[in-house]
Chains A and B, each alone.
Chain A
Amino acid sequence: MTLKGSETNLIWQNIDPRLKIVWVTIFSFYLASVNDLKVLLASLIFGLIFSRLSDFSFKEIIQKLKPINFFILFFWIILPFTTPGPQLHLKWFNISQTGLELCLVLTVKANSLMLFFIAFILSLPTSTLAYALQKLKVSPKLVYLFLFAYRYLFLLKEEKEKLMRSLKIKGFTPKTNLFTYKIYAYLLGLLILRAYEKGDRAHKALLLRGFNGTFYSLYVYKLTAKDFYCSLVFFLVLILFIWMM
């Protein structure tokens, strides 16, 4: 049984999810510890290739990279002006060279890590990911936490929007005063209560649908020769990174 997708993506999609998780962990630990710009640029390129192999379009990939780059933007605003070290003299102000380099390294590193994550993890269906984590002997509690956070964060957001709407209808305008803080405290309290209730109902729903603590994957994966070859490719990429240093 295979997932949907075009022919070229089939190989990538049929890689054993456990293998993907293991490799992405290795890559992320390695890339997080490297500060060499050459290696990071190479990893960025490989990240792009891998994420193109998964079923995401360029537009989707860019969309997913937006939030992290927005976050990094703040480093670009602050670090070049505050880091000590050799300075580049522009007409009116000085820019720190080390700060600039640091920002560049940070940006490339964050983006390539994200690309690896998109390619290896986001391309998996949720149930498969839960199943694979379980097979890797990750604590069941963590697996549930991950899976339900993924689904219920959205529902909680919806719940919050409902409450905010009802506040607006009643003519509430937030100000900086005690009354506003009090209302927000109530809001948070209500949200926690509703989350609890939702959790209770979800628990009931799980019981009714025969859930007994283990997840099963809808798609079958077996460790075969293709997994070995893919691992070999990943290993060579890793060796390449190490050699480039």
Chain B
Amino acid sequence: MAKQNTSTEELINLQNISFGYTKDKLILDNLNFKLKLSERIGLIGANGTGKTTLAFIILGLLTPQQGKVKLFGKICQTEKDFQQIRPKIGFVFQNADDQIIFPTVLEDVAFGPLNLGLSSEQALHKAENILKKLGIEHLKHRNIFNLSGGEKKLVSIAGVLAMSPKVLILDEPTIGLDEHSRAKLINILTKLDLSYFIISHDYDFLARTTQKQYILKNKTIFLDNTIVLHKHEHAHPLGYITHDHT
């Protein structure tokens, strides 16, 4: 157990990562990054700086030219290494349509647990539990193409959470969400008992959901303490009508 202790402390550890889609042009250069247990980190960066690329490297979908990817204290190099670790890292795609594979909600949410070797009864139970937890149980038998953007996002998150990951990586989760769905997502994320790492441009969203914010700039990542994120009181049409943000 004592040996495992250090490994559970550091969930993600990237050491001297360099990566470029073409050989002569690196987009990540000598990058170091750590995510510890129960940390909630936000990652900000301009378009095309390689935020999603970074996430794909962590998940082993892209192989860096140089550097080490250490997940849960274990160095991962081959596809097989990553395959074992992947269920522990939940990745939520920017576009929910990329993530959702089956035409009905329940089937899709249960897909992950079934792949992990759960029996159909257990998988069904788990999927239903997650849907209840996210407050979208009523969508259970709905068809994916009749769902709104916000509902699709929540379904894709449910599909990831159903695999009981230890870490969650969210790629631009608020894109295309309205005020209500966004508030719902904030509420869900802050209540989760998970470490996560959010890639986003939505500063207000990051301020509400994360403790630390990193910046991806000049091909590397750094913690910028000079930038203080703060929550915005927001304005929206029909704001004078009494409403709540749950």
Contact = CB atoms under 8 A, between A and B. Distances in A.
Nearest to B79: A207
A126 B163 contact: no
B110 A218 contact: yes
A13 to B, nearest CB: 13
B101 A218 contact: no
Given A208-B86, A218-B124, A127 B107 contact: yes
Contact of A4 (B61, B102, B141, B163): B141
Given A125-B104, A127-B111, A218-B123, A204 B163 contact: no
A171 interface: no
A208 B101 contact: no
A151 B159 CA distance: 17
Interface in A191-218: 198, 201-202, 204-212, 216-218
B97 interface: yes
Contact of A205 (B101, B107, B110): B101
B101 A1 contact: no
Q: How large is the interface on A (under 10, 10 to 19, 20 to 34, 35 or more residues)?
A: 20 to 34
Contacts of B160: 209
Contacts of A211: 111, 115
A210 B86 contact: yes
Closest 3 CB pairs between A and B?
A: A210-B115, A216-B114, A201-B98
Given A1-B120, A218-B114, 20 more contacts: A126-B103, A127-B102, A127-B111, A151-B101, A151-B103, A202-B98, A204-B56, A205-B99, A205-B101, A206-B101, A207-B61, A207-B83, A208-B91, A209-B101, A209-B111, A209-B163, A211-B111, A216-B123, A218-B110, A219-B120
